[in-house]
């Protein structure tokens, strides 16, 4: 089964921008309330499947979408940080 991941944002503007870009790229996404355990400035997150992670990272980096981070569920049902803006920018520069 494909794990669901979550992108958290610091602003609603960036979340809406990411939603538009990912939908345009035909990445399967859902808008999801940001869980309480993820500290973010925006109450809206985007959920997507791990199988699309490489494509999502590329779109976010190339389009300079500002994110808080990408998170996945851990064994206890909480969320763990996978990567954030710095790693995305480094991958784009490489």
Tell me the pLDDT band of 92, cut-offs 50, 70 and 90: very low
Calpha distance 36→55 (Å, rounded): 27
Q: At what angle do helices 85-93 and 53-62 cross, to 10 degrees?
A: 80
What pLDDT sits at residue 70? 94
Start-to-end Cα distance in the chain: 31
Q: Which single residue is written with the structure tokens 């990567």?
A: 83
Tell me the pLDDT band of 82, cut-offs 50, 70 and 90: confident
């Amino acid at each position: 089964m494909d794990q669901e991941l979550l992108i958290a944002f610091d602003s609603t503007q960036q979340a809406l921008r990411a939603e538009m870009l990912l939908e345009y790229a035909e990445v399967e996404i859902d808008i999801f309330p940001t869980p309480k355990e993820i500290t973010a400035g925006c109450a809206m997150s985007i959920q997507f499947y791990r199988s699309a992670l490489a494509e999502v990272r590329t779109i976010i980096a190339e389009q300079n979408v500002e994110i808080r981070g990408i998170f996945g569920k851990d064994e206890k049902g909480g969320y763990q940080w996978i990567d954030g803006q710095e790693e995305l920018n480094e991958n784009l520069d490489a």
